[in-house]
Amino acid sequence: QLVMPTPTMTKAAVRFFTVALLVFTASAFVTSPYPSFRSNTVALKMSTDKTTLIEVVSQPDKDFLDKKGVFSWGTWGCGVSKFPWTYDSNESCYLLSGQVTVTPSDGSPPATFGKGDFVTFPAGMSCTWDVTEPVQKHFIFF
């Protein structure tokens, strides 16, 4: 029998039940032989964690970039600036130039990256971009 959170439970108890429910739900995908289901499991686990995960691949090789199709993606750039941003969907980008520190609004650690780095931001993340050197990047939303 599944126990659901009630209005009188503490926040910790509600978090426990939410995590337990999502882990129980996600477990159906873990044993699946289909890679896309395994990816969904990771996304479910990330959604239960209050830490925002910005993935930085430092200086990936050309084979990595070619497999992703990076050089066929759109381009975007901006000068030295500081601005808020919220991701409605996931984004991956490859920096052609510049230096940036992205600080998630939820208190998670900031990520600093620059020319030659490949970065993935999660959907739903609100953050502040601090561009310390003008940026030019290839990007894709997914």
**Per-residue pLDDT in tens (0 to 9) along the chain, 142 residues:** 444 454 544 554 445 444 444 434 333 333 333 333 333 323 333 344 556 799 999 999 999 999 999 999 999 999 999 999 999 999 999 999 999 999 999 999 999 999 999 999 999 999 999 999 999 999 999 9
How far apart are the C-alpha atoms of 139 and 132, rounded to whole Å? 19
Beta strands in 1-142 (DSSP E): 55-57, 74-78, 81-86, 91-104, 111-114, 118-121, 126-141
Contacts with 99 (C-beta within 8 Å, 6 or more apart), sequence order: 112, 113, 114, 115, 131, 132, 133, 135
How far apart are the C-alpha atoms of 87 and 72, rounded to whole Å? 21
Structure tokens at 16: 């426990």
How far apart are the C-alpha atoms of 131 and 100, rounded to whole Å? 5
Closest CA relative to residue 55, chosen from 93, 84, 26 = 93
